[in-house]
Structure 1
């Protein structure tokens, strides 16, 4: 899991750059992120009910926030290379 994936997903979502978001969905190693992107893009393309699209967008954004926070916490707990 790379924190850069979460930053890129947020960036592409903010810019409505769906093609790049799709590429990130395929390339990321984080399966949860991939599924959240897939569900959002599917809702955005095929749903007629805006509430469903909004719900999928918020689910993606909540996951990005959660994953970036947990990844940052995990990386800060790792011993640095200077201490080895």
Structure 2
């Protein structure tokens, strides 16, 4: 396609990049648990990039489920 314009086409690409959610590193560690057949996990979320001040709020849902029983064990919204 020939448009005669240089890449990128306008400010809409730059504006859309500002609305992306920040990058997050997720680390999961297993801690000792006395119950046989059960585990305790510690999840640490670390924000890798600072998000610019925008009016949009980004949320994530953390869902833990069991595939064999097809059931959700834990659900939490992360802000």
TM-score after normalising by structure 1: 0.22
**Higher relative helix content:** 1
Q: Which of the pair is proportionally richer in strand?
A: 2
Of structures 1 and 2, the one scoring higher in RCO (CA 8 A, sep 6+) is: 1
